[in-house]
Amino acid sequence: MKFLIDECLHTSLVLLAHDTGHVCDHVNFLGLGGHKDWQLMTRIQEADYTFVTNNRTDFTALYAKEKLHAGLVVILPNVTPPCQRELFRAALAHIGQRDLTSAVLEVDFAGVTATCREYPYPLL
C-alpha cells in the first residue's frame, strides 16, 4: 500500500508506515500543504494513494463520488501526536499486507483501546 498522510496529522506517522513496509508520504513533504481538499483528492487518485486523515466529513463526501479508490483511513477523534501514532499503529495492524480498495477504515478509541471499523465505500 501507498499512504498519503494529511496535513492535519503528525509527520511521524510516515515512519510508522515505513516501519511496516509501506510506502508513505506526507502532504507537507510533497508541497501540498494548504491545498483544497478537492485538489488533494485529484493527487490521491492520480497516485493511487490510500489517504489518512482526521477530516472525516469532507473526505467521505469526496470519496462518495469515486467509483474506485485505494481506500481512506480516518483517525478519530482529533488527538495528540502520540495518540495519533497509537491509532495509526492499530490501523496498520488491522490492514496487514492487504489493501483497502474502495473501503474506509475508521480508527477510534473505545475507552483506552484502539478499535477499527472497516466498511465498503461508497456504500452501494
User: Where along the chain do its domains lie?
Assistant: 2-114
* Predicted local confidence at residue 123, as pLDDT: 81
* Predicted local confidence at residue 77, as pLDDT: 87
- Whole-angstrom Cα distance, residue 74 to residue 55? 7
Query: At a CB cut-off of 8 Å and minimum separation 6, what does 106 contact?
Result: 56, 74, 76, 116, 117, 118
* Predicted local confidence at residue 124, as pLDDT: 65
What is the value of pTM for the model shown?
A: 0.96
Tell me 96's DSSP state: T
Angstrom distances, CA of residue 114 to CA of 18, 111, 123: 21, 8, 24
55-106 confidence digits (pLDDT tens): 999 999 999 999 999 999 999 989 999 999 999 999 999 999 999 999 999 9
